[in-house]
């Protein structure tokens, strides 16, 4: 599934303050975020970020507030200019673009969905959805038609003439999604797009997004601070802390092998039985018994199948062919919350 | 009776035939001022400026010499002051002011003579520049004067209804018109109207672009704000002096006084309104690749409109507050009547014309307030 690299971020630094270039030198000399703030009164926004984002996948970038994730996503379409580094989209350096190229990139290649929706309050739903198209120079009638298709897709048919303030939060974000999709951009930047919504509506919107993604295959860069959300929609997760990238990888990988205490604190409370898949913990060389389970099954479902014959390992299959085995003991070990001392050294419960 | 009817019929024909011409002249005059006189004057200024810039080294040298000489003079003056000062407690009674000969030198040579020189050499050019404005003002007054009163009433009431969409305000306007008419102030009120309309058109035509400039650049914002403060707080008689020297006692002098005093609110609130547009919305327009002008006309101005309208409303109020001072320098109308009432100590006359101004102000304020509210309702809360 790896495919071509769509967006590539190399050695990206961002420092906020009066004299970022001098502060950058201190950072290169090894100063961290708190020290830089204390000694030089500059805020380290991003610290040497390197991420390659393959096309047609959902790349989740997560971290707590202040970790630099929103700053990072704004570098991709240069709403924020970096202090140093390279951002390439389709092999083209975004930072070397002039205003016109930049506008064309924003109009046609990347569109963005915002945490606070950022809809134009004086435009109707239809006009909001057609906003990107109108900026591309598409005539009003055609833009309206094309936007209508997306309004229908996100389930807002009948609300075309409403103003954003008349809609609920979830519906407003559907408009935001329609506006971003209507431009036919390959890359979708989603900045905590669902964080402002109620939990139920959030799950709903995640479903909408996953369903659309199945069909559209866009490159989605999704910012969130919610690990459940990240695990649910991400093909790949990058975790930021204090502006630095601390772990990147497959969601399974992050849950099974957290790189440090910060990450293991993050994954402490997730439902491991639902997140982890059989393929991540199976014994590829083993041979199982009569019970067959698919390699992409969640552990809690596998447990359901195996509970009648707990003594015998089950056969793991992929496309009907056996690829390994899984015994009950391994399964229970994987579901069990990691012991506190291995997680962070601090005993929470 | 037949003759009378014929006469009135003829009047209406003359009216119908003349009105389009007057209106056309008015719009043409105003357009000529804004789109022809102003650019031509700016162009002439640029033509003067460029050879002047060429002379910069000479100017710099002369400036340096003047600065050096004045610095020397200043030091000498300070030295003399300390030498001749009688160092006693009595001397502390008054703050030492400039000696009268130096004051005379400064006032005459520094301010009055240069301005007299300017008025002498450029006065005609300035009058020429302002001529279209003066003509359009006359035409507007003629137009309003010329209208039969039912037509005028109907026009005003229709306008008030269109702006406010509320019968109550229309009734208020009718009451105001009735009040003005019954005390025989209609002619004066129409002159005040024409002054108001023109000054407001000018305030908006210059104020809104200036406000947009200020919102686009912090440097312009910092530079213009003190100027606006001075325009609002400087006693208007001060800037009426040069206006009087240049234009004489005339309606145009009054117009300029009103425009200077009434323009700041619309500039300020345009600037503020654009700066108050939510950051996320502005960011979204950036993120979808809007140019500055697409952002300005598609996002910033529409969202700033409630504030801009509040600014225009305030501008109208301040313009109305200026009618008496404008009357002092020759603007005819209700203000002049208030002045004459004050001169003859005639309370009744003063109250009548004063209330007429107040009623006009209240009607405009209410209708604009409702207009702004309607606009916001449409945009923010929904139908």
Distance from the Cα of A162 to chain B's closest Cα (Å) equals 8
Cβ distance B280 to A122 less than 8 Å, yes or no, reads no
Cβ distance B284 to A163 less than 8 Å, yes or no, reads no
Window 221-250 of A, Cβ < 8 Å to B: none
pLDDT band for position B227 (cuts 50, 70, 90): very high
Cβ distance A135 to B289 less than 8 Å, yes or no, reads yes
Tell me the HSE value of B356 on the side-chain side, using a 13 A CA sphere. 30
Under 8 Å between Cβ of A237 and A82: no
**Confidence check: pLDDT of B10 > 70:** no
Average pLDDT of span A2-27: 86
Compare B374 and A12 and report the one with higher pLDDT.
Answer: A12
CA-nearest residue of chain B to A164? B380
Nearest-10 Cα torsion for A163, B159, B321, B313: 10
Average pLDDT of span A77-97: 89
List, in order of start, the domains of chain B with CATH numbers: 1-121 (no CATH), 147-383 (1.10.3720.10)
Give the whole-angstrom CA distance, residue A187 versus residue A179: 13
Average pLDDT of span A146-162: 91
Under 8 Å between Cβ of B245 and B267: no
pLDDT at A3: 66
Q: How far is CA B379 from CA A126, A332, B134, B306, B308, in A?
A: 14, 57, 40, 10, 15
Under 8 Å between Cβ of A323 and A317: yes
A204-213, A246-255, A271-280, B192-201: which range is least confident on average?
A271-280
**Confidence check: pLDDT of B207 > 90:** yes
A225-239, A264-278, B341-355: which range is least confident on average?
A264-278
Under 8 Å between Cβ of A310 and A300: no
- Write down the residue that tokens 């500039």 correspond to: B267
Q: Tell me whether A117 touches chain B (CB under 8 Å).
A: yes
Average pLDDT of span A281-290: 80
Interhelix angle B186-216/B347-376, nearest 10 degrees: 40
Give the whole-angstrom CA distance, residue A181 versus residue A212: 10
pLDDT at B380: 54
Write out chain A residues lying below 8 Å of B280, CB-based: 114, 116-118
Give tens-digit pLDDT for A216-245.
889 999 999 888 888 888 889 999 988 888
pLDDT band for position A286 (cuts 50, 70, 90): confident
Phi, psi of B289 (to 5 degrees): 80, 40
Distance from the Cα of B269 to chain A's closest Cα (Å) equals 19
Closest by CA position to A343, among listed A272, A280, A276, A268: A268
Give tens-digit pLDDT for B236-285.
888 888 888 888 888 888 888 899 999 999 999 999 999 999 999 999 99
Distance from the Cα of B299 to chain A's closest Cα (Å) equals 7
pLDDT at B87: 81
pLDDT at A149: 92
**Confidence check: pLDDT of A347 > 60:** no
Q: Which of A80, A101, A112, A121 to mutate to test the interface with B (most CBs of B within 10 A)?
A: A121
A156-173 burial, b for 16+ CB within 10 Å, e for fewer? beebbebbbebbebbbbb
A25-39, A160-174, B215-229, B344-358: which range is least confident on average?
A25-39
**Confidence check: pLDDT of B49 > 70:** yes
Q: How far is CA A155 from CA A172, A204, A213, B189, in A?
A: 11, 12, 16, 58
pLDDT at A292: 83
Give the whole-angstrom CA distance, residue B136 versus residue B79: 58
CA-nearest residue of chain A to B278? A118
Q: How far is CA A5 from CA A57, A88, A101, A113, B287, in A?
A: 10, 9, 21, 22, 22
ipTM value of the model?
Answer: 0.84
Give the whole-angstrom CA distance, residue A32 versus residue A23: 11
Write out chain A residues lying below 8 Å of B297, CB-based: none
- Give B242-272 as a DSSP string: HHHHHH-SSHHHHHHHHHHHHHHHHHHHHHH
Q: For residue A312, what is the DSSP state? A: S
**Confidence check: pLDDT of B67 > 70:** yes
Q: Tell me whether A166 touches chain B (CB under 8 Å).
A: yes
Write out chain B residues lying below 8 Å of A132, CB-based: 288-289
Write out chain B residues lying below 8 Å of A77, CB-based: 287
pLDDT band for position A310 (cuts 50, 70, 90): confident
Q: Which of A135, A140, A165, A182 to mutate to test the interface with B (most CBs of B within 10 A)?
A: A135
Q: Which residues contact B167 (CB under 8 A, 6 or more apart)?
A: B161
Most confident of A261-270, B290-299, B323-332: B290-299
**Confidence check: pLDDT of A264 > 90:** no
SS3 per-residue string spanning B295-341: HHHHHHHHHHHHHHHHHHHHHHHHHHHCHHHHHHCCCCCHHHHHHHH
Length of chain A as a residue count: 349
Closest by CA position to A122, among listed B288, B297, B207: B297
Under 8 Å between Cβ of A183 and A151: no
Q: For residue A165, what is the DSSP state? A: G
Cβ distance B287 to A121 less than 8 Å, yes or no, reads no
Average pLDDT of span A239-252: 88
List, in order of start, the domains of chain A with CATH numbers: 55-266 (3.40.50.300), 275-340 (3.90.1280.20)
The residues pairing with A283 across neighbouring beta strands, listed in sequence order, are: A325
Q: Where are the alpha helices (DSSP H) in A183-327?
A: 199-216, 227-233, 251-256, 261-266, 272-275, 278-281, 299-306
Nearest-10 Cα torsion for B32, B37, B39, B42: -160
Q: Tell me whether A107 touches chain B (CB under 8 Å).
A: yes
Give the whole-angstrom CA distance, residue B78 versus residue B85: 10
Average pLDDT of span B213-217: 93
Window 12-71 of A, Cβ < 8 Å to B: none
Average pLDDT of span B110-128: 87
Cβ distance A122 to B286 less than 8 Å, yes or no, reads no
pLDDT band for position B5 (cuts 50, 70, 90): very low
Cβ distance A77 to B287 less than 8 Å, yes or no, reads yes
Q: Average model confidence (pLDDT) for chain A?
A: 86
Give the whole-angstrom CA distance, residue B192 versus residue B141: 9
Closest by CA position to A41, among listed A30, A33, A49, A53: A33
**Confidence check: pLDDT of B15 > 80:** no
Give tens-digit pLDDT for B358-371.
999 899 888 888 88
Give tens-digit pLDDT for B149-193.
888 899 999 999 998 888 999 999 999 999 999 998 988 888 888
A106-115, A299-308, B195-204: which range is least confident on average?
A299-308
**Cα Dmax for chain A:** 68
Average pLDDT of span B99-106: 84
For residue A219, give both structure tokens: 């490159």
């Amino acid at each position: 599934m790896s495919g071509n690299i769509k967006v590539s971020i190399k050695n990206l630094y961002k420092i906020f303050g009066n004299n970022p270039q001098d502060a950058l030198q201190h950072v290169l000399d090894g100063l961290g975020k708190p020290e830089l703030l204390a000694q030089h009164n500059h805020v380290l926004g991003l610290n040497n970020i390197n991420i390659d984002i393959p096309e047609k996948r959902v790349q989740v970038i997560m971290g707590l507030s202040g970790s630099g994730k929103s700053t990072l996503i704004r570098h991709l379409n240069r709403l924020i200019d970096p202090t140093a580094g390279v951002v390439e989209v389709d092999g083209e350096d975004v930072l070397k673009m002039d205003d016109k190229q930049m506008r064309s990139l924003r109009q046609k290649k990347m569109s963005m969905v915002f945490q606070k929706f950022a809809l134009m309050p004086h435009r109707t739903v239809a006009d909001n959805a057609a906003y990107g198209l109108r900026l591309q120079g598409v005539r009003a009638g055609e833009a309206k038609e094309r936007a209508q298709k997306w309004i229908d897709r996100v389930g807002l048919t009948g609300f075309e003439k409403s103003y954003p303030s008349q809609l609920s939060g979830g519906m407003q974000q559907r408009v935001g999604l329609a506006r971003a999709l209507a431009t036919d951009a390959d890359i979708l930047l989603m900045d905590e797009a669902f964080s402002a919504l109620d939990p139920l509506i959030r799950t709903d919107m995640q479903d909408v997004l996953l369903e659309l993604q199945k069909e559209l295959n866009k490159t989605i860069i999704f910012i969130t601070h919610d690990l459940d959300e990240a695990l649910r929609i991400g093909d790949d997760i990058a975790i930021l802390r204090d502006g630095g990238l601390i772990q990147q990888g497959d969601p399974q990988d992050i849950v099974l092998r957290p790189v440090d205490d910060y990450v293991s604190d993050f994954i402490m409370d997730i439902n491991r039985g639902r997140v982890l898949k059989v393929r991540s913990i199976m014994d590829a060389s083993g041979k199982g018994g009569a019970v067959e389970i698919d390699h992409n099954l969640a552990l809690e479902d596998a447990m359901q199948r195996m509970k009648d014959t707990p003594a015998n390992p089950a056969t793991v299959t992929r496309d009907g062919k056996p690829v390994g085995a899984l015994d009950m003991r391994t399964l229970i070990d994987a579901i069990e919350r990691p012991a506190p001392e291995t997680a962070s050294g601090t005993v929470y419960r | 009776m037949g003759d009378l009817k014929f006469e009135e019929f003829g009047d209406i024909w003359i009216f119908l035939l003349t009105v389009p011409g007057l209106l056309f002249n008015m719009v043409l005059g105003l357009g000529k001022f804004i789109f022809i006189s102003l650019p031509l004057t700016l162009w002439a200024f640029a033509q003067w400026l460029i050879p002047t810039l060429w002379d910069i080294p000479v100017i710099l040298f002369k400036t340096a010499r003047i600065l050096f000489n004045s610095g020397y003079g200043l030091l000498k003056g300070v030295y003399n002051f300390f030498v001749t000062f009688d160092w006693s407690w009595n001397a502390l009674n008054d703050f030492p002011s400039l000696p009268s000969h130096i004051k005379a030198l400064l006032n005459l040579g520094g301010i009055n003579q240069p301005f007299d020189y300017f008025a002498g050499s450029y006065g005609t050019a300035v009058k020429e520049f302002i001529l279209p404005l003066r003509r359009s003002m006359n035409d507007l007054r003629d137009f309003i004067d010329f209208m039969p009163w039912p037509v005028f009433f109907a026009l005003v009431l229709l306008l008030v209804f269109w702006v406010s969409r509320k019968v109550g305000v229309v009734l208020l306007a009718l009451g105001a018109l009735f009040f003005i008419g019954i005390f025989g102030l209609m002619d004066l009120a129409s002159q005040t109207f024409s002054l108001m309309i023109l000054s407001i058109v000018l305030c908006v035509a210059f104020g809104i672009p200036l406000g947009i400039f200020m919102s686009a650049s912090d440097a312009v914002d910092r530079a213009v704000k003190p100027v606006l403060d001075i325009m609002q707080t400087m006693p208007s008689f001060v800037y009426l002096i040069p206006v009087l020297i240049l234009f004489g006692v005339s309606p145009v002098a009054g117009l300029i006084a009103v425009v200077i005093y009434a323009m700041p609110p619309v500039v300020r609130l345009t600037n503020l309104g654009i700066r108050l547009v939510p950051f996320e919305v502005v960011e979204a327009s950036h993120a979808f690749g809007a140019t500055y002008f697409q952002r300005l006309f598609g996002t910033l101005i529409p969202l700033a409109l409630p504030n801009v309208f509040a600014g225009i409303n305030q501008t109208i109020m301040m313009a109305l507050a200026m009618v008496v001072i404008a009357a002092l320098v020759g603007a005819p109308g209700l203000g002049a009547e208030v002045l004459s009432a004050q001169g003859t100590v005639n309370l009744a006359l003063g109250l009548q014309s004063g209330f007429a101004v107040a009623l006009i102000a209240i009607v405009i304020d209410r209708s604009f307030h409702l207009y702004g509210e309607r606009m916001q309702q449409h945009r923010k809360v929904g139908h």
